[in-house]
Amino acid sequence: MKMIVGLGNPGKKYDLSRHNIGFIVLDYFSREMRMPVTKVKFKSYTGEYLYKGEKILLLKPQTYMNLSGEAVRSAMDYYGIDPGDLLVVYDDVDIPLGSIRLRKKGSGGTHNGMRNIIYHLNEDEFPRLRFGIGKNDQIPLKDYVLMNFPKDEFEILRGSVQDAAGAIGVFIEDGIDAAMNRYNKVVTK
């Protein structure tokens, strides 16, 4: 069984915020695959499906970003999911807007949601998809990540969200190495 987690904050006011790119990518993937993420379980919205012979769980924690690990740990324990079968999709201010970086493991860096997941799992050896949201040194980080994407960035985001959803499909079918080889990319303006 594979578990795909999109990170974000619950509530309409955060729908298009930079911090919610994990939700945005997972929502796009679920729409494309016709796999609604609407069941409430594990302090999350979930969807459980069979995808090309692989059982998958889609998860959108509703705990707010900084407590995402509670939901992730609860679901992993319930289903006995191995950390190598987990893929977490989240925003990253340290890579350019629209860039995608998949990794097998790593620290949480400055991302409190990832740091909380690592804390609750007591390990950092699980795949992740980092989605670049860019950086603005003139705006405090906590304010910047909660800002909505401006309309002039939508075109960059559209293609990158599609690529990130494609990377999820490759991860499910062929694993993290294949997804890394095919989808790691840097966007330049």
Residue 113 has pLDDT above 60, yes or no: yes
Residue of 2, 10, 18, 19 marked catalytic: 19
Integer CA distances (angstroms), 114 to 101, 138, 150, 158, in order: 15, 24, 25, 24
Distance CA(56)–CA(86), nearest Å, equals 10
pLDDT tier at 81 (50, 70, 90 boundaries)?
A: very high
Does position 76 have pLDDT exceeding 90, yes or no? yes
Q: What is the pLDDT of residues 173-187, one digit of tens each?
A: 999 999 999 999 776
Note the pTM of the prediction, 2 decimals. Answer: 0.95
Domains and CATH numbers, the chain: 2-183 (3.40.50.1470)
Mean pLDDT of 66-83: 97
Predicted confidence at residue 53, as pLDDT, reads 84
pLDDT tens digits, residue range 14-34? 999 999 999 999 999 999 999
Let me know if 19 is a catalytic residue.
yes
